Structure 1
């Protein structure tokens, strides 16, 4: 293919060669085409990662890397469209226009929580792919910046930063029940049971999650060339539905206010809890429970005024009862005294005196 270069293009290429010639002549002249996103990354994020790959290639001291701005000007002058240029043929054409020996092109995609990076180093003269590198990464997007460094070093044939095998260990995770999701350092790893190899020696954060069960979180340490076993006994989470009449009563569980009725509270299996329900002008309700299943607690609160009135009636009853018995006793005593005074004092042999009239007869004259 014969390419026609304008004066501006020739000047740009000439300036590029001046820059390259000022560097070490034994270095390989390369250019990096912007990486292509296969989903999950914005254009600005792709641009940042491409720039980091370009700068890391410079820092290896193995390449003369064409400046991004200069490369864009040259390709634009020739009417070459860089967008979507990820094929080998497209990279070779760009490399010939730029006058470099090798081109770097690639893609970054995302599947679920997993990022995939594919990078190729292409020989412009032969159109052959000299190196093809792949990386899989689980975690926050910021972690891809570190991936660019390792790719640049491998393209340059540098192995000094590769982690030693002695700095790796294995995590063997089981759970009861199984099929729980596993996260290590906030990165999804799979479901239990699972054996995770090549974990860096040192401290890590583990989280085990299963719907309907309590979440297990904690830290663990990995030792080089050793297997760490972790068994998680997951417990079911039950619902306690708490309601009251009247409603809007304040609920306390284990001396901690959690809300007002009606309310649904989640508790781990076999937990022992103390429930207190309070409402102004009503008697407090208290109950202790050991949770073995879903529970529904319906409470009928007793009005405090009714309780006070009942107590008052009992006290009044005690007082009135005492007065009644006092009057009965006094009446009995009075009746007894009247009978005593009406009886005759001089009757013989205690025989009754017989009278024919309502009043006694007067005594007989001598």
Structure 2
């Protein structure tokens, strides 16, 4: 009897401790379309897409359809497309055939040493974009794989992410008491080649999503 009460209380604690948007998302099944490669190889895009799928599952915010299962269902349904399925109409049709509530699609690009990850969460029912995540990172593709896909997955799930800025400005004010009463400020720049375009997600984490 005591054990039953303990498990009951534990279940209540877990349910109430999870963010509301996570519990809502967990009721939905998501299909992740292979991200479109721009400036990187198709193989790299495939690997990064697989990593994003794993990270989405790890957030506990999504029930993600496996890639092999997606291919199997689409083949059985006779789904055919010319070129990449990136337009909302195509993605919605694909989602309907797969029987999922939402589809995630987007692109992975590179210009110089900077990588750009752009993904959107689309409602199959309405065709509307529920969340739109844009992540820019200057560094190696290894870091994109090991750190940035995790950040993107959390943002898609509505989980707030604390990120490092690429520059930290430290203002040291030295009050110099003089005849003119002048002061001097020095800016000390600390360089960091990590994420360079991380604007606060002022809406992604506070969305009132009604799916």
The two structures have a TM-score, normalised by structure 1, of: 0.38
Q: Confirm or deny: 8 A CA contact 1:105 1:121 kept in the other structure.
A: yes
Q: Deviations over 1:78-131 (max 9, x none)?
A: 232465111111111110000110000000112222211110000000000111
Distance 1:25 1:132, change over 3 A: closer
User: 2:125 & 2:141 partners in 1: Cα distance?
Assistant: 35
Name the structure 2 match of 1:246: none
Q: Which runs of 5+ in 1 are unaligned?
A: 1-23, 173-183, 190-195, 199-366
Name the structure 2 match of 1:80: 79
Q: Radius of gyration: which is bigger?
A: 1
Q: Does 1:52 align with 2:54?
A: no
Name the structure 2 match of 1:152: 153
The two structures have a TM-score, normalised by structure 2, of: 0.64
Distance 1:25 1:119, change over 3 A: closer
User: 1:63 & 1:143 partners in 2: Cα distance?
Assistant: 24
RMSD: 3.1
User: 1:25 & 1:140 partners in 2: Cα distance?
Assistant: 32
More helix by share: 2
User: 1:188 & 1:152 partners in 2: Cα distance?
Assistant: 18
- CA shift, 1:26, in A, is 5.0
Distance 1:171 1:37, change over 3 A: farther
User: 1:26 & 1:75 partners in 2: Cα distance?
Assistant: 23
- CA shift, 1:74, in A, is 0.8
Give 1:240-319 correspondences, 5 Å limit: none
Name the structure 2 match of 1:113: 113
Q: Deviations over 1:222-243 (max 9, x none)?
A: xxxxxxxxxxxxxxxxxxxxxx
Distance 1:197 1:71, change over 3 A: closer
- CA shift, 1:28, in A, is 1.3
1:162 match: secondary structure = coil
Distance 1:158 1:170, change over 3 A: same
User: 1:197 & 1:131 partners in 2: Cα distance?
Assistant: 18
Q: Which runs of 5+ in 2 are unaligned?
A: 1-23, 172-190, 199-211
User: Higher relative CO (CA 8 A, sep ≥ 6), structure 1 or 2?
Assistant: 2
Q: Confirm or deny: 8 A CA contact 1:103 1:123 kept in the other structure.
A: yes
Q: Confirm or deny: 8 A CA contact 1:113 1:188 kept in the other structure.
A: no
Name the structure 2 match of 1:337: none
Q: Does 1:42 align with 2:51?
A: no
User: 1:143 & 1:59 partners in 2: Cα distance?
Assistant: 18
User: 1:197 & 1:49 partners in 2: Cα distance?
Assistant: 19
User: 1:48 & 1:76 partners in 2: Cα distance?
Assistant: 22
User: 2:60 & 2:41 partners in 1: Cα distance?
Assistant: 30
Q: Deviations over 1:245-290 (max 9, x none)?
A: xxxxxxxxxxxxxxxxxxxxxxxxxxxxxxxxxxxxxxxxxxxxxx
